[in-house]
Structure 1
């Protein structure tokens, strides 16, 4: 199953990984060749396809065949009680879109702060400013080693977002669809601006509350809800640190500022509005190089620049 999805990888010349039609589901519309959504057990999933030519027909395939076709290019999957990846192949005029539906495991943290032996910690009891996005997640994605190479979108894999804390498998993770769409959007943007790279280096993706507290981060960090990523361009050379984006011969906060300004300028465009969120700029320290933080919190926030 996962090996089939690995066929969708970016070539050496940047390709945004898009098809000519789009899908609207879970509050997001996109036209990427592959995208991932997380669901609770037995939660149904409805998808509506747009920009379908009048004489063309959408075909949606799933291994167990449990799909219902509705009017207006709408399809519904009734859900599954089996945790794990459930991929769909959407076909239209020799084009293919893969939709990964990942059924999560309900969040059940024991008295030791663990879930199936993996240390999670404790989510805040009171949501920040009463906002629903800061309530504890209903579930988490159970991750076994073979899932690390799973493509979540055209240019990002599941392993890029894993929490950095030590521990045996199974581990747990959360990655929001909106974050994947935003990262793909920004990746296409930097390539268009002349910074050639086939992905961002994700220095920090998901964090458990335990790990977030251990590194001294803020209590309501969006990383804990799978909606944030600390990223930089690491392409020339690939050495685990930010590239010299401003070409001054020094790797420092001014390179992070290149990305910050590029992303901030883009945030005022109409097409960016669904992805509105936080943007932060960070200088290098003894433990890491410069980077920028991006998230999809749903409202504008800026810091560090």
Structure 2
């Protein structure tokens, strides 16, 4: 029987690892800030696909699983997440901080997967790109966590800067990169189709929100790092816990292909092309503009500062260590409202553009 005290202990343990990311990237608090160069509104509009109407979902708080799941080098506490793997890649899945006296099983498309140890599986992806679904169920059959698995198209299949006619463009040459541990080219790309674009990557973000804004038909291709999803979910929760309602956080820009990144005049080594960056703002009323977060009756860079302060608070916590990265604060322009840039490059970088 699980007592109230036992539940409190488990809850405390889970909170301490809610986004523990055991990444080996070194930190450097004196890193030189990187400033993003914004293209003119007319140039961007000419190349970018128009944004879709915003659908506001009233889900202010995250839904946690009753345990945390260690996936290779990250720890996930949510009841919905995603895996990005190559064909036939083996991934270690380990349940940590389970409920006392409970057992769990992993299912792949409804079929039970054999355990390696009592709470560990070594799961192998299929040999062709596509989607798979994993579920972790308790002994009573309840689904406690679901994982949307995206088996990526290997980067070797990019020919002439294109993948199935989708223009990706060239990544910077290795000779131009000083910190090769931070600027790692994608090993593969997620194929985005009209059928899979609505799939959840985490409790509050879908695949389609991170695709490059360049105009194209389907399929599209995107590269993402799980650390970005963890950071966005942590920020969303931190704001709600500080009485700043966030029912709709907009990804204004997620992944960018090197081709599109160059077309809009951005810096060559933008974190957007490396899959761990997003430009974001809070838009609870669905008008595709930042909300008045500080309640001063106006929308300005001060509202972006509210979000930036939440990042600053998270930076003080040891469990946030592996999610440290860039933070840029941007004021409003005629064609858009204020927003912030976040990434998980592993070293601190700060900039501000009124």
Q: TM-score, normalised by structure 1?
A: 0.91
SS in 1 for 2:92: strand
Shift of 1:230: 0.3
The match for 1:191 is: 240
SS in 1 for 2:245: coil
CA distance in 1, matches of 2:318, 2:179: 28
Shift of 1:280: 0.8
8 Å contact kept, 1:162–1:173: yes
Shift of 1:287: 2.6
1:248 aligns with 2:296: yes
Go from structure 1 to structure 2 and tell me whether the alpha carbon gap of 1:13 and 1:77 turns closer, same or farther (over 3 Å shift): closer
1:24 aligns with 2:73: no
CA distance in 1, matches of 2:242, 2:173: 43
Provide the aligned C-alpha RMSD in A: 1.8
CA distance in 2, matches of 1:34, 1:180: 11
CA distance in 2, matches of 1:221, 1:68: 42
Gaps of 5+ in 2: 1-55
The match for 1:67 is: 113
CA distance in 2, matches of 1:31, 1:247: 32
CA distance in 2, matches of 1:174, 1:286: 30
The match for 1:179 is: 228
Structure 2 matches for 1:66-105, cutoff 5 A?
67-92=113-138, 94=142, 96-105=144-153
CA distance in 2, matches of 1:170, 1:109: 14
1:164 aligns with 2:209: no
| Corresponding pairs, count | 294
Q: TM-score, normalised by structure 2?
A: 0.79
1:213 aligns with 2:262: yes
Compare relative contact order (CA 8 Å, sep 6+) and give the higher one, 1 or 2: 2
Shift of 1:53: 3.4
Q: Deviations over 1:193-237 (max 9, x none)?
A: 1121223100000100000011111111111121000000000x2
The match for 1:295 is: 343
Shift of 1:57: 0.6
Shift of 1:254: 1.1
The structure 1 residue matched to 2:203, chosen from 149, 154, 159, is 154
The match for 1:7 is: none
> If you compute each CA radius of gyration, which structure gives the higher value, 1 or 2?
2
The match for 2:34 is: none
CA distance in 2, matches of 1:152, 1:227: 14
Gaps of 5+ in 1: 1-9
SS in 2 for 1:147: coil
SS in 1 for 2:189: strand
